[in-house]
A and B are shown apart, each in its own frame.
Chain A
Amino acid sequence: MRNVLKKVACCLFLVLLIILPKVSSAGEPVIGKNYDYKNIDEIKEWISEARYNIIKDYQKWGVVNLIPQEAHKVPHHPGYDEATKKYSGNVKIVAEGGALEGWVAGCPFPDPLKGTDDPWEIGMRLLWNFEHRDDGDTSRQWYEGGPCDRRGVSGRVVVNEYKKWYVGRYARDPKPAIPKKDNPDNRYWANAAFVVEPFEMRNTNMLTIRYEDPYKDDDMWLYIPALRRIRRFSSAQRMDCGAATPDWTWDDYNFFQGKLANYKAKYIGRRWLLEGLVQSIEGKKPTDRIMNRATDHWFTDVKVEKVHTYEWEFYPKESVWPKHIYSKCVCRSDPDHWRIIDRDTYDAKGRLWKVGYYYFLTNPEPGQEGLLWACGEQVDVQRMHSSNGNAWATYDPHHRCRINNLDLPLSYFEASGLRKYGY
């Protein structure tokens, strides 16, 4: 009898061993399970409040779902890690204005919490880490997307975009900066965006130049084929939206492309969240959309993974923007690549206005390891309007642009090149 009791106790113990972890992990996301409005409460604490409300309100937004997957560990470009190791020790934030001092290349603050508990200092460090993320030295983006209103997708935008960094280089020679003789006006980066669609802006080529001086405004030239003329534009109103992507302001591109000296940031804390960091490209052709859009405004079947995010918020400085359209933006960034992957934007009256997510692919090219931007969605939750897009970052599926490699000549990023390399 005693033996029988012992055996039963052992069995019970074994059963408990198997069951207990399941019980203790109640509320843990289950890999491969489909979560939508019916069962999203099971993982409520793993997603942001805004995302929860959107999934829950399926009558307004359609059925939006998340599918947890194993977390990815995506390596940096080796040069980025090397530069971080070499240069990050000397970097500091200038108290007045929040500019960066001593940065050469790589991540400026690999441990943003080190040596301070000032949330404003940490916030700026996270913002600078995002600014100097692992994006390569020359990037290319073939963006396809379009605005969507209450009646559905209302247009299409296709932009072929190149960006070249003049300083902070770690992947291609010359490193860490293009020599002064080839960069006499002290550029930080230059971005040439060639519009393929919509028709109204077709073949327009826009050149934006950002300078090393964080207080100096950008320069902007536009070649407008209909006018047959290159026009200079003021880049001062960074909070304006383009007609083709009316939910993204100039400073919203890439989830934040503002001049850091115009903003201040505050650290909130670390938070485990399910974020759609890495998406799958398997079984897709270059011309396919990377992610599904069963609903009009939101991507569906989003593969999410546990990310120990940094949660922080940034604000437009009142001294620069006495009346900005945003009061604050709450961001969650991933701790390895410092990318903003989840952002809630509040209007001037402090009401939630736009909710956005960014998704990535792993770069398959040897020696070019890293994350490639794959898709982004930014939805105006007040007016039910969105501007979402897919991007194929590695190559141009239609060969529409005249330059098809990443070794772009510097002349591509000159005002006179706008006409030459456009149409």
Chain B
Amino acid sequence: MKRLFIVSSFLCAFSLCVYTTAFGGFSLFDGRLEISGWVENFSAFRLEDGYHSLHRGHEEGDYSLCRNTFQLETQFRLSDVVTVVSIYRGWYDAAYDIDDDLRKLIPSKERDKYRHDSDIRELYVDIATDNLFLRFGKQQIVWGESDGFRMADIINALDFSWYYFFPAWEDIRIPNWSADIIWNLPGEFFRRYQSSLEFVLIPNCFDRGFESTNLAPEGAMWNPMFPQMMLDMLDAKRRDMKSTQYAEYGIRFHSIVKGWDFHIFDFYTIEDNPVMDMKRMMAGRNPFRFERVNKVGGSFNRYIEPLKGVLRFECVGTLDEPLNTLDHMSIKNRDSYAYMVGFDRPTYIPWLNPETSFFISGQVFQKYYTHWDRDLATGDTSSDEYQTLITFLINTGYRKWTWMPQIFAMYDFSGEGWVNPQIEYAHKGLHWRVKLGAHLMFASGSGQSYFSAFKDNNNVYLSVKYQF
């Protein structure tokens, strides 16, 4: 039945493409209801054989994925104050039907979950009054200033299961049932500095339980060397956390003072990644624990006129962050401090592109743990008390923004990196888009945090997307 629904969705999607002779979606009820969306085929192919124990069987030239997605977005403006927004997404990954080997690699009970799905991804109500903006429902809430890697963007967990963290964040954030309230502070002083307070509440009391980072199943290309048994226990733990005692709360202050656009925030949350206590496992209990932590931080951006660019900064301090020891026999708590400094600058390089500037962006991320012990392991710092990571992005547009080349590169000083060259072609007023690119990863050893488990997963991809 579910498959029938997905097939129907795709038929509807292609019918919409055929019948949208006018550019750009539909509107009904005098423009109050707007419907738009996109259909995409995203195919990625491996560039080498998998040699990690849990990636064996994946061969050069195999599909990494062949994901066909239909997304339908509607927004219904009930009045000048109230708007209802929904985002439906249905997808079918044909790679599992095209490649028999791939099908055999993933446990049968997990296979369908990674083959197709159909879901109301977001559904929320906006209420916008003079001084209040309220958004209730299943939604993504985004904080922070960084691109490519997350630091202050801590509200929603991520879904790493189908293409690691390569898709745009908005496509892999796991929306939460939550409330987001922004209150423009009254009074002349606060008005002058455009000050507001934001409150976030994630009750975590609904059926799905606590939304933690979603990992790929055993045998899948993006499985981080986790056997399925562990993943099942992790999922069971997450689902058990279905009570308001696991609620998460956030508060954020925003203001713009003399061109400095800044935020200060506190998020009383539960870590998206669990710690594992093997002693509990030996006692026959679920070894995973999602620990509560308090994250305090801030961010700012500023246009720097002499340099003709935008400076971005964010920092987060996590008090008593739970860390595993390398043998997973105990958990220790350490404070961690992280910051990011980034700079964006459009730069005109006439000999490379005589008509359009290049957007150049660089970021430096650094994280530090206090009272570090050599037996500690972390999910994101290559088991070291420091992590330093840099990113670089450059892109531009040729022939009236028809051709858009881009290079994104990242290097972690622990000895790993990632390069993502891409060229995008926009046809017929941006409705048809074709992207061709590659994800090339390297890691010098097995202890690096991001790519040591995936360095044999280099792949090229081709995306064909129709947007309406």
Contacts and interface: CB of A to CB of B under 8 A. Distances in A.
Interface string B190-207: 011110100000000000
A155 B428 contact: yes
What's the dominant secondary structure at chain A's contact region? loop
B284 interface: no
B303 A147 contact: no
B57 to A, nearest CB: 36
B196 A199 contact: no
Contact of A227 (B25, B142, B301): B142
B77 to A, nearest CB: 7
B334 interface: no
B31 A402 contact: no
Contacts of A202: 24-25, 36
B85 A423 contact: yes
Nearest to A419: B133
A232 B261 contact: yes
B36 A199 contact: yes
Nearest to A235: B303
B303 A234 contact: yes
A400 B34 contact: yes
B426 interface: yes
A411 interface: yes
Contact of A199 (B254, B303, B356, B430): B430
Given A226-B170, A232-B261, A237-B357, A323 B36 contact: no
B13 interface: no
B75 A423 contact: yes
A222 to B, nearest CB: 11
A398 B356 contact: no
A170 B86 CA distance: 44
Interface string B348-384: 1010001111000000000000000000000000000
Contacts of B192: 181, 184
A220 B344 CA distance: 13
A416 to B, nearest CB: 5
A383 B399 CA distance: 9
Nearest to B80: A402
B303 A232 contact: yes
A174 to B, nearest CB: 16
Interface in A141-160: 146-147, 149, 153-156, 158
A421 B77 CA distance: 12
Interface of B: 22-25, 27, 30-32, 34, 36, 38, 75, 77, 80, 83, 85, 126, 128, 130, 133, 140-142, 144, 168-170, 182, 184, 188, 191-194, 196, 254, 256, 258-259, 261, 301-303, 305, 308-310, 312, 344-348, 350, 354-357, 397, 400-401, 426, 428-431, 433, 467-468
Interface of A: 146-147, 149, 153-156, 158, 181-182, 184-185, 196-200, 202, 216-217, 219-221, 226-229, 232-237, 239-244, 246-247, 323, 325, 348, 383, 385, 398-400, 402-404, 409, 411, 414-416, 419-421, 423
Given A237-B347, A241-B401, 5 more contacts: A181-B188, A184-B192, A200-B433, A239-B348, A419-B133
15 contacts: A198-B430, A219-B259, A228-B140, A232-B261, A236-B308, A237-B346, A239-B348, A242-B401, A243-B401, A325-B354, A398-B27, A399-B31, A400-B34, A416-B182, A416-B196
